[in-house]
Chain A
Amino acid sequence: MSILEKLNAIKDTVPHYWPIGAFIHHNPLKGFEHLNFKEALIKAQQTFGGKVYMDPDYYIGLFKEGKISSEMLEKNLLRVLKEAKLERYLEQAKTFMLEVSPLWNSYRSYEDLKINEIDETLHSYLEENAIYKDEEAWIASLTKNMTLYEIHDALFGTSKKELIEKDVIEFVARFLDQQQTTLSMTDRDLGMFETFKLYENIDYIIDVEEFVQEALDTLKVQDVQTYFLTHILKLHGWAGYIKYRSESKEYYAQQEHPSTLMDYIAIRLHFEVKYLRKKKINDFEKLQAYIKSNTPYAILKLLQAKGKLTGTYNDAMEEHQDYQEIVDAYAKDEINLNSLQVQLAQKAVQLDDMMPVAFSNFANLLKKEEGFMWLKSLEDSYIATHVDAFTSPHTYDKKPLSSTIFCLDVRSEVIRRKVEESGPYTTYGAGGFLGIPILFVEFDKAHALSLAPAVIKPENIVFEIPVESHETYNSQKSVTKTTKKVLSDLKNNPYTPYVMVEAIGWLFGFKLFGKTFFPKKTHMIFSKSKPVKPKTTYTLDKLSEEEIEKYVKRLHTNIINEVLTTQFGTGLNSSDIILLWEHLVFDKPLKIRISSDIIDNLKQAYHITSEDYEIQKVNLAKVGFTIEEQVMYIENLLKMIGLIDAFPKFVIISGHGSCSDNNPFESALDCGACGGSISLPNARALSMIANKAEIREKLIYRGISIPEDTRFIPALHITTTDEMTFYDTEILNTKELELFLGMQEDFKNASLASREERAKVLPNAKNEKDLFIKTMDWSEPRPEWGLAGNMGVFAGPRDSCRHMALHNRLFLHSYDATIDNENADILTRIFNGPLVVGQWINLEHYFSTVDNKVYGAGSKVYHNVVSKIGVYNGNYSDLKIGLPTQSVIEEGKAYHEPVRLLTYMEAPLETVAKAVENSVAKEFILNEWIRPVIIDKAAKKVYSYEFGEFIVIKELV
């Protein structure tokens, strides 16, 4: 196995980390999805450390609040006890879970050890099973997941880790920088490893794999694969980002400055070798020899480094007492404490008829299983409540004035409910990005945004083009852009800030003061100076072959003209420019006299060549959609949500986005399915397509009849303030506009009601008006709760859940199983897009809540943006993956309730089974990373998928 293969074998342990500008929620344990959820969590805990379930206290709190029902807890306990043939101890097990488990660690008390007698049989049993007897195994367990320099630090009190990680981060952050600094690292186009060689003066020819092999040989590493993993886990945020880049060939920064995970390993190993070179113990063979001859001392130092050595032993170490005696005393005390823990727990449970050894096994079983049991009991309790509500009969008025299709998000639940309550309106939820993946080039922007889930690569480019005069906008925008650029350069240059602060620093004081104390007024003043964007439309139709050729020709001739006049001072008339272009692109004989320097320059520096001509044609061919594609996207959307007849007067297609200030995580609050961007362009594109007469004609043949007078209107739902803004309303006639304005007023009232409901759970929000302040306040770490609290998805008719107040906790996807085909294509599409994104969002929140240190980003308060790709703590740390504490935790307590995605599907069991079989989500569904619940109204049964099978959890009447 080559070292590249060894690296590839372990690299998926760390998840992708997308740049923060396009924050993609993801499952931090993606690499473990091939395993069953419960099994994967055990493995992940061994790999990453940290917690994978909440503490027992948390679940007990929920139990006392009534969120976890006693019935569900007993059911799950009984299953575990039955497997161990201990079902007769159900009551005692419950007592253990509720009363003893939270105190479990406190039973290991030195004070209590003095006054309690240890049971000899139990002591012998625990001693027999303890690792302390085998010192070699003990050392192996203590050094697991430790690099050589970490072991060195532990044994000899050095600080090599700090030096090595700092150097690694410094280099990596500078290399990966995306124009945050004005003084970029040079020669980055050579690639990460080659640049590193220049940076570290490695002046011999060697490729990265040879270099890594050389370092491994120097360190005398035996298990290379494990050592790679150990290194990757040290800074798994940076490793995850480099992994993402190296696997995203279309990522511009990667194309410009290539990097691979092997390069990263090479850098890490280089610093490890460098800093240990002069040390006595600088390879694993020497380390093993040292440990062999100083085993007790090594054990104690390793225990000390891991914080496992208590005060008494630390005192003894300080006094240089006999190390073997200290180790023996430690082992003895540990076993005594373990025995005491079991004895005191048994006393608390009052399980006198059980032998202490048997109770030890009983307690260990419950401790091992309790995290999963609590989690499942919580989920089961919610499922029971939800299923009862979903299956209770409700009927609604079927003649609405409008139907609003919301881009799927938990945050649309409240506003949907309020809209429906405000008048004759219905709502739908449609899979994020509304099923239309686009590469969107915004007006006055040069780059394309991918508005689709990270797993989908859009093939259609949509340009936003102005439909009214935009000179004023352009000039204002140009002034703003120049000012920003100058200020940014002055701020980020290492020398200029000294002068800048003295000269113009005070000017910033106004903004600083205003934004802190009068955010609303300051926002009003500054927003007035912002240029107003002109009205725009989208390029939705494909260009003809002639148009493509015309545009490429125009692009090339413009470049030629620009180059000739600005660089060579040679003006040519348009016909000569065309002759020159034809020569460059089609190799036609040149009938005019032009120096070869100019020709070479145009070819090499500006790529005016036949190859570029073809590339540009291919790119332009991606602009817009064919008629068939347009029909397909509309058909898919409408069929996906079950809206194929009885169209109302207005169909609103609403995207969503968030609004906040000074928030590097802002894109985490935008549409996750649109690559962390606002999904308005998708909504506008679909509305424009749906309003076309020729599209509607074709839709009739596909079973969708949209009345001539139905109007599709795009909208944007701002999730922070629940405001809804409508676009492209100029297509409405006077009569329609009158109706529309009335509807708009109702929507405003719905927004207000929605804000009032949300303000009750948002910290530091006294009333709905405070929600607006949060969008402008630059010191606000929590502008909205975002997706925190998400717990499930419902795919079925809106009427089944319209009566439920779900408080922004469920993704509500509209789905009508009766119009799905035998192959369950519609449900499969829902599984492939929305369910995948929903699972990523859900598990990102789950793990960021259960252990924010390991899987989350920590507190926003310490964050600094680094290299424009993410945040880290202070001036160097690992790249922070996951969500900040402020997104999931409120005043030290979890706001987000971590549960797996409760996936309710109102459809026949066979349809769901077919969709699972066809879906890319099959692996994580079958491995129970979500909780599938099938409401089969035809069969009058509700099924839950658990422990590898569908079980009936409710019979419908």
Chain B
Amino acid sequence: MLIDFILLFLFAGVPYYLVFENIPVMRKDKIFPLAALLVIAGMFISYQFPQETSMPFVMVAFFASLFSLHKANQTNNLCKLTYYILFFNAPLLIMFKTKESILYGVSLIVALMGVYLMGKYYARSYGSPNYQSVSGITLVTPYAGLILTVYFTALALYPPFPNALLFLNGILKSEISILWYLIVIVIFFGNFLIAVRVMAKTVFGKPNDNVHYIDISPTERVVHLLIIAVLLLLSVIGLQEVLS
């Protein structure tokens, strides 16, 4: 029971960001690293103390997830979006079996880490991680456009990106119930809709004449290349897991 409580908190099953968002010292761009760290801690604990998932906790996480979906749809800020997406996926982390949960969690954090770094790049180049006015980046900043496309395609659960494969792996190996159906459907489409909404406003569309576009620097490209390489590695693992 105690472990369930701890995991519910660590796996982002409780939207504690509501508190952090109102603490100036935390600032929005520090919430994701903290949340990711807590999820990793949760993975470690669940690995050390494997146990059956308690359905009431999953349900709590699911309601929190729906709230995060709503929040994700309200924001155009990439940094905020990262922890909203993480919290949105929390029920899966709690519901999946330990190994599947860890794998899906890792791929989710890696993809979100990429988005988070893109948010930092936005903040540097355009004053804030908010992408509302920075549309059509594929045409004017092709590297940034390509990288953001990769991350959001992964988050939209398109195969062969690892999120999709590990999501499939998780649902194939978990026990089926009505709640299972509900969560899987909502989170599958939710991820897709959030990602597509962001892509429509960033990588697609017409470039904004009022914005002076700056593409990502060569150093940043290397960092993102590494993240994409990790995603590729996770894809291979995901494929092996699905086929096993």
Contact = CB atoms under 8 A, between A and B. Distances in A.
Contacts of B212: 105-106, 108-109
Residue among A108, A314, A853 having the largest count of chain B Cβ atoms under 10 Å: A314
Nearest to A110: B127
A318 B128 contact: no
A311 B130 contact: yes
B133 A314 contact: yes
Given A110-B127, A318-B75, A318-B77, A311 B122 contact: yes
B123 interface: yes
B132 A304 contact: yes
Contacts of B211: 307, 310
B135 interface: yes
A392 to B, nearest CB: 46
Contacts of B132: 304, 309, 311, 314
Contacts of B130: 310-312, 314-315, 318
Nearest to B131: A311
Contacts of A306: 210
A849 B139 CA distance: 18
Chain A's interface: helix, strand, loop or mixed, by majority?
helix
Contacts of A106: 212
Contacts of A307: 133, 135, 208-211
B76 interface: yes
A314 B133 CA distance: 9
B124 A311 contact: no
B74 A318 contact: yes
Interface in A306-338: 306-312, 314-315, 318
A235 B132 CA distance: 26
A311 B128 contact: yes
A108 B210 CA distance: 11
Interface in B74-128: 74-77, 122-124, 126-128
A307 B133 CA distance: 5
Nearest to B122: A311
A904 to B, nearest CB: 37
A842 B220 CA distance: 45
B214 to A, nearest CB: 8
Contact of A315 (B77, B135, B208, B209): B77
B205 to A, nearest CB: 10
B47 to A, nearest CB: 37
A111 interface: yes
Interface in B147-194: none
A306 B135 CA distance: 12
A131 B163 CA distance: 50
A109 B125 CA distance: 8
A110 B128 CA distance: 10
Contacts of B75: 318
B134 interface: yes
A601 to B, nearest CB: 59
Given A111-B124, A318-B75, A318-B76, A311 B134 contact: yes
Given A105-B212, A106-B212, A111-B124, A311 B133 contact: yes
Chain B contact residues: helix, strand, loop or mixed: loop
Given A105-B212, A106-B212, A306-B210, A311 B74 contact: no
A309 B122 CA distance: 14
Nearest to B128: A311
A306 B206 CA distance: 12
B129 interface: yes
A311 B210 contact: no
Nearest to B130: A311
Interface residues of B, number: 23
Interface string B214-229: 0000000000000000
Interface hub of B75, B76, B130 (most chain A Cβ within 10 A):
B130
A600 to B, nearest CB: 61
Contacts of B131: 311
A315 B76 CA distance: 8
B24 to A, nearest CB: 12
Contacts of B133: 304, 307-311, 314
A304 B210 CA distance: 11
A108 B134 CA distance: 16
Contact of B128 (A108, A109, A111, A315): A315
Interface string B49-89: 00000000000000000000000001111000000000000
A113 to B, nearest CB: 9
A308 B211 CA distance: 8
A154 to B, nearest CB: 13
A106 B122 CA distance: 15
A312 B135 CA distance: 16
Contacts of B123: 311
Nearest to A106: B212
Contact of B129 (A105, A108, A311): A311
Nearest to B127: A110
B127 A312 contact: yes
Contacts of B210: 306-308
Contacts of A315: 77, 128, 130
Interface in A836-858: 853
B216 to A, nearest CB: 15
A306 B208 CA distance: 9
A862 to B, nearest CB: 13
A312 B208 CA distance: 16
Interface string A80-119: 0000000000000000000000000110111100000000
Interface string A907-942: 000000000000000000000000000000000000
Interface in A282-322: 304, 306-312, 314-315, 318
A953 to B, nearest CB: 37
Nearest to A108: B212
Interface string A105-144: 1101111000000000000000000000000000000000
B31 to A, nearest CB: 14
A470 to B, nearest CB: 54
Nearest to A111: B124
A312 B128 contact: yes
A109 B74 CA distance: 27
A507 B242 CA distance: 41
Contacts of A318: 74-77, 130
Nearest to B74: A318
A297 to B, nearest CB: 16
A310 B74 contact: no
A310 B130 CA distance: 8
B76 A314 contact: yes
A108 to B, nearest CB: 7
Contacts of A304: 132-133
B77 A310 contact: no
B135 A311 contact: no
B127 A311 contact: yes
A312 B124 CA distance: 12
Interface string A357-400: 00000000000000000000000000000000000000000000
A106 B206 CA distance: 20
Nearest to B125: A111
A797 B211 CA distance: 52
A304 B132 CA distance: 8
Nearest to B206: A853
Contacts of A108: 212
A856 to B, nearest CB: 14
Nearest to B208: A307
B193 to A, nearest CB: 17
Given A110-B127, A111-B124, A311-B132, 15 more contacts: A106-B212, A307-B135, A309-B132, A309-B133, A311-B126, A311-B128, A311-B129, A311-B130, A311-B131, A312-B127, A314-B76, A314-B128, A315-B77, A318-B76, A853-B206
16 contacts: A106-B212, A110-B127, A306-B210, A307-B133, A307-B135, A308-B210, A309-B132, A310-B130, A311-B123, A311-B127, A311-B128, A312-B127, A312-B128, A314-B133, A315-B130, A318-B74
What 10 pairs between A and B have smallest CB-CB spacing?
A311-B128, A311-B130, A307-B208, A110-B127, A314-B130, A314-B132, A312-B128, A307-B133, A105-B212, A312-B127
